[in-house]
Structure 1
Amino acid sequence: MEAEQLKLITLDRLDEKWWPEARRIYHQSFEHGRKPDRIIKQMFDRKLSFLHVVVDKSAVAAMAITGKAENGKALIIDYLAVKEEYRGRGLGEWLVKALASWAASELQLEEMIIEVESEHLPENDLRKRFWLKCGFRMTDYVHTYKWIPETYQAMYLPLTPDPSQAAVEDGQALFQQITSFHHQSFRELNN
């Protein structure tokens, strides 16, 4: 896989060309803890999210679902996954860099945010190492959701030339943005 062959496609809708394969990667990668398809559809219908697909020649090799934080200064990475046969080749890092470039240049955002499970389990620690390798910084604050037994921490990646100018570095403040995004994602179910 050559980096020159890779292309990032970003959409504000779930189209019939790219979403079916991205959806398969999403389902395979997130057997537990994923949002139901109807919620994902609703997020796009309400213009809360972006679908990003990495295309290698004509195949979808990786995907991400992101959304702008309520403060308008950050991109929240809701899901990011690499198709199994493409793993271990640096494609995840390539996607994170491409997302950072897109968020900074197209949306003029100041940082990207991700939430990771805080409990020290091998699979959680592996994910944290990936995000740290991509340049994300860990916050100390540990967040507990009412409806999920796991605890989480926020990580952020400054997108500004001067990293000290990042929108928010405080984990609790980052979780206000993340929680607001999740509430908006699920809100329509109550109506």
Structure 2
Amino acid sequence: MANITFDMREANAMLELEFRTIKKWDEVLWAQIERIYHEAFPSGAKTKVILRSMLERQIGCLHIGVHHGEAVAMAVTGLGGKDKDRMMMIDYLAVEQKLRGSGIGTWMLEQLKAWALREHGITGVIIEVESGSTDAHQERIQFWQRSGFILTSYVHQYRMVPELYQAMMLPLDGSAYVRDDGEALFRYINAFHKIAYRKS
């Protein structure tokens, strides 16, 4: 864990933020981030039971951004691929509502990348975003694009949910090139979800 002084551009204040990665389920820590998680993802998100199972089976991690002992951001990640194709999936990333737009989301992303590179030697980061043309959809996509993610054109339809999704990727292997092959990226994403939802 590292204490990092972070300059909040919009709030014009200094926050002491600490990044924590949790690999074993902890009810106390979950209680700190549960509100942020449900506030950002009020429906359709993985349940507490599934998240706990992911940690117990070592297929996912929880990450927390902490300010003076209080959680202000959270993320859920998983890994896919092997060796030179090792990728990190960001399943969820959320910042406390009153602090959104302050740069904490970008800070969390930087911590996630550094952790995954150090611990797992990943070559890229993959996310899936809702495919849509509303202002909210475009704001989310633009957040990831500002962070270097490339949007692929393939639109994916899950059988169990009505929303459409697209994959985005951030290469970390020194290349700025991402092949426009969203279907290939969704093979990583689908494999991760399949394992995550498996009961044992």
> What TM-score do the two structures reach when normalised by structure 2?
0.87
- Corresponding residue to 1:18 among 23, 26, 29: 29
The reply to whether residue 60 of structure 1 matches residue 71 of structure 2 is yes
Say whether the 8 Å CA contact 1:70–1:180 is kept in structure 2.
Answer: no
Whole-Å separation in 2 of the counterparts to 1:27 and 1:44? 19
Whole-Å separation in 1 of the counterparts to 2:169 and 2:91? 13
Name the residue aligned to 2:43. 32
Identity of aligned residues (%): 39
Whole-Å separation in 2 of the counterparts to 1:36 and 1:156? 25
Name the residue aligned to 2:194. 183
Deviation at 1:2, TM superposition (A): 4.7
Whole-Å separation in 2 of the counterparts to 1:140 and 1:36? 29
Say whether the 8 Å CA contact 2:123–2:171 is kept in structure 1.
Answer: yes
- Corresponding residue to 2:161 among 148, 167, 177: 148
Structure (1 or 2) with the greater strand fraction: 2
Whole-Å separation in 1 of the counterparts to 2:27 and 2:77? 19
Q: Assess, with a 3 A threshold, how the Cα gap between structure 1 residues 65 and 126 changes in structure 2: closer, same or farther.
A: same
Name the residue aligned to 2:94. 81
Whole-Å separation in 2 of the counterparts to 1:30 and 1:184? 21
Whole-Å separation in 1 of the counterparts to 2:151 and 2:82? 20
Deviation at 1:154, TM superposition (A): 0.2
Whole-Å separation in 2 of the counterparts to 1:159 and 1:14? 29
Runs of 4+ in structure 1 off by over 4 angstroms are none
Whole-Å separation in 2 of the counterparts to 1:169 and 1:23? 35
Deviations 1:28-86 (A, max 9, x none): 11002211111111111111101110111211110000000144610000000001122
Name the residue aligned to 2:9. none
Say whether the 8 Å CA contact 1:104–1:160 is kept in structure 2.
Answer: no
CA RMSD, Structure 1 to Structure 2 (Å): 1.9
Structure 1 unmatched runs, 5+? none
Say whether the 8 Å CA contact 1:139–1:169 is kept in structure 2.
Answer: yes
Whole-Å separation in 1 of the counterparts to 2:111 and 2:132? 29
Whole-Å separation in 2 of the counterparts to 1:101 and 1:56? 19
More displaced, 142-151 or 17-26?
A: 17-26
Letter in 1 for 2:35: R
Matched ranges for 1:52-131 at <5 A: 52-71=63-82, 73-131=86-144
Deviation at 1:169, TM superposition (A): 5.7
**Aligned residue pairs: how many?**
187
Whole-Å separation in 1 of the counterparts to 2:172 and 2:61? 18
Deviations 1:96-125 (A, max 9, x none): 111111111221000010000112122111
Q: Assess, with a 3 A threshold, how the Cα gap between structure 1 residues 14 and 114 changes in structure 2: closer, same or farther.
A: same
Say whether the 8 Å CA contact 1:70–1:181 is kept in structure 2.
Answer: no
